Amino acid sequence: MMERRSAAVDLVRALRPAAPLPLALVMVLTLAICDVTAQQADTRSETNYAVPDLGSLPDDAQGRLVRRGRDLVTATYAHIGPEVSDPAKRYAGNNLACRNCHLDAGIKRFGLPLWGVSEEYPRYDAEVGQDISIEQRVNGCMKRSMNGRAMPTNAPEMKAIVAYLGFLSTGVTAGAPLTGKGAGNMPELDRAADPARGRLIYAATCALCHGLDGGGIRQGLPSMAEGFAFPPLWGPQSFNDGAGMNRLITAANFIHANMPDGTSYDHPQLSVEEAWDVAAFVVAQPRPQKADLALDFPDRATKPVDTPYGPYLDGYSEQQHKFGPFGPIREALKLLQAETAYPQTLQR
């Protein structure tokens, strides 16, 4: 609190002219400073999680298992990718790495971090309509983001990933709100996000790393299992259409908080509108198709409003579910929920 008060005082001093300010202007400045302070105070109900130090782990079986799990997250393609030498280990269907979505090996604030995840499972998963384990959640990523197949629960690679997730949850209380979880929650547009506008933003801001064709930049030659320096955003090597990153709300918030490379949640480089539009351009592009998507979300009332594939309960088009605006969809679902006495489980 003292730091915020000091910053406010410094701001007033910096803005103070030689002559006294009009009373009305002083009041405006004071209210603005108080509003910023109140917004900062709102985050105090959440926990600022300190990521545990991997280097402090002992060189024993558990320490090695956790480190192996981190390796699998950072270089998935090299261990279980489609180009590894042992066909039995080719669980991933593309050469992405878990860290392409879960930035900095899953520890970056608002970079879809993995800390605290282990404590959330088992839990109900609306996508499959039942309780799932942490291993099943990992396999959800394998089958969607990695466009591959499920790993056996007792596979060494699965045990290592789960051990790493457990390590990242050290000291986390189940259900405790953690600052920096997810990818943020920026304001939505009152219009549909525009892929045509997004194309121009992509060409100017994203194409240098991800390519004009969205194919990314590979490390090494094909067949060398060295993955990508910058991941593809669409095309055969990208996540499939059932992945969470193929949903506009997830993609737009992730882009706003993390892209271009070097961006942080506190210092975004794209405006809110630019992030929505460039995300719309990305999710509009062709990518691998996952089978049986119509079976997802057996309770249609729990289907996220930005799920880009039907069937839907609310009567709105796939186009609007894909690009928004989402407000009317939420209102329609609320009405349906009230009429049919659905439980209050609507998601973003």
Break the chain into its structural domains and give their ranges.
2-45, 54-168, 195-283, 294-340
54-168 with 195-283: one CATH topology? yes
**In whole numbers, what is the pLDDT of the chain averaged over residues?**
88
Q: Average pLDDT, stretch 97-119?
A: 96
Q: Is 229 exposed, middle or buried (0-12, 13-18, 19+ CB in 10 A)?
A: exposed
DSSP assignment of 64-99: HHHHHHHHHHH-HHHHHSTTSS-GGG---SSS--GG
Residue 124, SS3 per DSSP = strand
Q: How would residue 60 be classed by pLDDT, with cut points 50, 70 and 90?
A: very high
CB 235 within 8 A of CB 214: yes
pLDDT score for 12: 39
Indicate whether 246 pLDDT > 70.
yes
Least confident of 88-102, 161-175, 239-253, 317-331: 161-175
Q: Average pLDDT, stretch 332-344?
A: 77
Indicate whether 61 pLDDT > 60.
yes
Which residues are within 8 A (CB) of 285 and not within 5 positions of it... i.e. 6 or more apart? Answer: 214, 233, 234, 235
- Higher pLDDT pick, 39 / 267: 267
Indicate whether 9 pLDDT > 70.
no
Q: How would residue 6 be classed by pLDDT, with cut points 50, 70 and 90?
A: very low
CA distance 178 to 184: 12
**């050469």: which residue's tokens?**
95
Q: Residues in the chain, how many?
A: 348
CA distances (Å), 293 to each of 92, 143, 251, in order? 19, 12, 19
CB 178 within 8 A of CB 106: no
CATH architecture label of 195-283: Orthogonal Bundle (1.10)
Q: What are phi and psi of 131, to 5 degrees?
A: -70, 140
pLDDT score for 29: 41
pTM of this prediction? 0.84
Which residues are within 8 A (CB) of 102 and not within 5 positions of it... i.e. 6 or more apart? Answer: 73, 111, 112, 113, 114
pLDDT score for 338: 86
Q: How would residue 18 be classed by pLDDT, with cut points 50, 70 and 90?
A: very low
Structure tokens at 10: 């410094």
**H or E element at residue 123:** strand 123-125
pLDDT score for 22: 53
pLDDT tens, residue by residue, 196-234 = 999 999 999 999 999 999 999 999 887 788 999 999 999
Indicate whether 318 pLDDT > 80.
yes
Q: How would residue 20 be classed by pLDDT, with cut points 50, 70 and 90?
A: low
Find residue 218's DSSP bridge partners.
228
CA distance 348 to 186: 12
CA distance 10 to 157: 53
Q: How would residue 153 be classed by pLDDT, with cut points 50, 70 and 90?
A: very high
pLDDT tens, residue by residue, 132-150 = 999 999 999 999 999 999 9
Q: Is 7 exposed, middle or buried (0-12, 13-18, 19+ CB in 10 A)?
A: middle
Superfamily for 54-168? Cytochrome c-like domain (1.10.760.10)
CA distance 259 to 253: 10
Indicate whether 34 pLDDT > 50.
no
CB 217 within 8 A of CB 227: no
